């Protein structure tokens, strides 16, 4: 089998890193080419790579030479714009990394296409009259931008990322269930594969400027409100003498509106020497922090992701991790992570932090269980085995889905809508055509 694997491949992309590990294993069973459009800063790999600058310049005949085309989708327009555009020209199997894709499509319609009407119509198509009202209010400046609020989970927009696909892979059960409600083709739940990379030249705690005797707490990823970093700082402020006992390191760029709020909160809690915002961090530095971390905090509310590469890496490093009991995090065994209820976050987070700060045995116990689970559950060999099984199902469904797409397009052109009697008649005839019983 020959596979074209479209993915961001920047060294800054967690999806690119996961793709490198998966393709390395998948290449033992198939011929796999990595297609990417990074002009600079592409990840190193032994796999064959095909660079393209723009989706519109790809000769579709080149893709027809493959048995399967795979598209990796995440919620960041610069990394995924061209992948989305080629997927609309040449459908394939989609790997959906994020539940909420609204940030991608808001940027695509409003900033890239400069089409407020396009955004409003897309929201109306996906979410009905309520979606139209919300979108119109946003473009008219009368409503808060929904993708900057917790309500974005009501308008996730992932439906447009997978439109026209022959199959969808999701990395959590909760996202699999959501996809199945809106996608008529085959859907597979396959736990994300990720690897632990130890730094070639790890930095010591002294080189990282971690004060001797401090408990090192680490959060990794883009610092935005749903990561609940403000809740961590607030909880640390309620723990006696935390200012002199811990160093809380946040590794990742911060949203411009969120960072001042965090800085103000640090000052208000008297934690200036105990909280450190490091911004974008090179891999070797990040890995050194993870290696030396006493434990990690990986909160999400609401949950936007379909899987969490940062969580898997922390577990593979054998770290105790505090998570929010929601989304993919809810699905983890209770003895592998410490779960915080989103409805009682303040009290439970304070208790969890204080417990792990005080109890080194608990840190080791949770870390050992986390590593054992992650090494089995998130292994590239497991991913490849399940992916190849799913591929045959998706390939067999392709003719039916192609027929359904052409039929839907033609009916739309004729002005047919869901309330008309002809829709049920055509659906019944199509069912019989493909082997259904009367």
Same-domain status, 181 and 75:
yes
Residues 331 and 173 sit within 8 Å (Cβ to Cβ): yes
Residue 431 lies in a domain: no
Residue 277 lies in a domain: yes
CATH number at residue 180: 3.40.50.11930
Residue 396: what pLDDT? Answer: 67
C-alpha distance from residue 302 to each of 92, 226, 322, 408 (Å): 30, 6, 15, 34
Same-domain status, 262 and 273:
yes
Domain boundary (351, 378, 405) is at 378
Same-domain status, 386 and 329:
no
Same-domain status, 390 and 358:
no
Same-domain status, 246 and 386:
no
Residue 419: what pLDDT? Answer: 61
Same-domain status, 170 and 258:
no
Residue 429 lies in a domain: no
Residues 409 and 163 sit within 8 Å (Cβ to Cβ): no
Domain boundary (326, 349, 378) is at 378
Residue 69 lies in a domain: yes
* Residues ≥6 apart with Cβ < 8 Å to 115: 109
Domain boundary (349, 378, 407) is at 378
Same-domain status, 162 and 263:
no
Same-domain status, 342 and 222:
yes
Residue 392: what pLDDT? Answer: 81
Residue 106 lies in a domain: no
Residue 143 lies in a domain: no
Residue 93 lies in a domain: yes
Same-domain status, 96 and 238:
no
Candidates 289, 288, 345; CA nearest to 322 is: 345
Same-domain status, 390 and 342:
no
Residue 435: what pLDDT? Answer: 54
CATH number at residue 270: 3.40.50.2000
Beta bridge partners of 98: 305
Same-domain status, 222 and 161:
no
Q: How many domains does the chain have?
A: 2
Residue 161 lies in a domain: yes
C-alpha distance from residue 210 to each of 8, 34, 197, 426 (Å): 33, 39, 22, 68
Same-domain status, 97 and 17:
yes
Residue 426: what pLDDT? Answer: 56
Residues 93 and 69 sit within 8 Å (Cβ to Cβ): yes
What domain range is 302 assigned to? 215-378
pLDDT per 10-residue tile (average), the chain, 438 residues? 96 92 95 94 92 96 96 96 97 96 98 97 96 97 94 96 95 96 93 88 95 96 92 96 96 90 96 95 92 97 90 96 96 96 96 97 97 94 94 68 55 63 63 54
C-alpha distance from residue 12 to each of 103, 121, 252, 378 (Å): 18, 33, 10, 21
């Amino acid at each position: 089998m020959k596979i074209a694997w479209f993915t961001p491949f920047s060294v800054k992309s967690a999806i690119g890193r996961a793709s490198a590990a998966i393709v390395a294993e998948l290449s033992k069973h198939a011929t796999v080419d990595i297609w990417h459009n990074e002009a600079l800063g592409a990840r190193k790999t032994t796999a064959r790579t095909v660079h393209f600058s723009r989706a519109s310049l790809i000769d579709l005949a080149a893709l027809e030479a493959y048995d399967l085309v795979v598209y990796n989708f995440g919620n960041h327009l610069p990394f995924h714009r061209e992948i989305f555009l080629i997927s609309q020209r040449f459908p394939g199997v989609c790997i959906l990394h994020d539940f909420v894709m609204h940030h991608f499509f808001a940027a695509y319609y409003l900033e890239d296409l400069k089409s407020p009407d396009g955004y409003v119509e897309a929201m109306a198509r996906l979410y009905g009259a309520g979606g139209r009202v919300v979108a119109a209010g946003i473009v008219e400046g009368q409503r808060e931008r929904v993708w900057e609020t917790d309500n974005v989970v009501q308008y996730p927009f992932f439906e447009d990322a997978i439109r026209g696909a022959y199959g969808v892979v999701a990395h959590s059960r909760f996202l699999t269930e959501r996809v199945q409600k809106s996608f008529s083709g085959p859907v597979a739940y396959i736990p994300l594969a990720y690897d632990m990379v130890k730094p070639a030249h790890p930095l010591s705690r002294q080189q990282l400027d971690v004060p001797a005797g401090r408990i090192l707490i680490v959060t990794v990823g883009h610092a935005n409100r749903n990561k609940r970093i403000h809740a961590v700082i607030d909880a640390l402020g309620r723990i006696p003498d935390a200012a002199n006992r811990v160093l809380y390191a946040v590794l990742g760029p911060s949203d411009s509106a969120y960072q001042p709020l965090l800085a103000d909160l640090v000052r208000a809690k008297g934690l200036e020497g105990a909280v450190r915002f490091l911004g974008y961090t090179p891999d070797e530095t990040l890995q050194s922090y993870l290696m030396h971390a006493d434990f990690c905090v990986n909160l999400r509310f609401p949950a936007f992701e379909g899987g969490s590469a940062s969580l898997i890496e922390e577990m593979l490093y054998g770290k105790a991790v505090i998570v929010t009991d929601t989304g993919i995090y809810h699905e983890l065994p209770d003895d592998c992570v410490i779960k915080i209820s989103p409805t009682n976050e303040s009290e439970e987070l304070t208790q969890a932090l204080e417990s792990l700060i005080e109890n080194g045995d608990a840190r080791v116990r949770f870390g050992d269980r986390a590593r054992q689970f992650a090494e089995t559950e998130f292994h590239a060999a497991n991913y490849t085995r399940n992916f190849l099984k799913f591929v045959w199902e998706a390939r067999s469904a392709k003719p039916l889905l192609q027929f359904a797409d052409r039929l839907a397009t033609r009916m739309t052109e004729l002005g047919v809508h869901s309330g008309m009697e002809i829709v049920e008649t055509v659906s019944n005839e199509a069912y019989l055509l493909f082997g259904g019983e009367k």
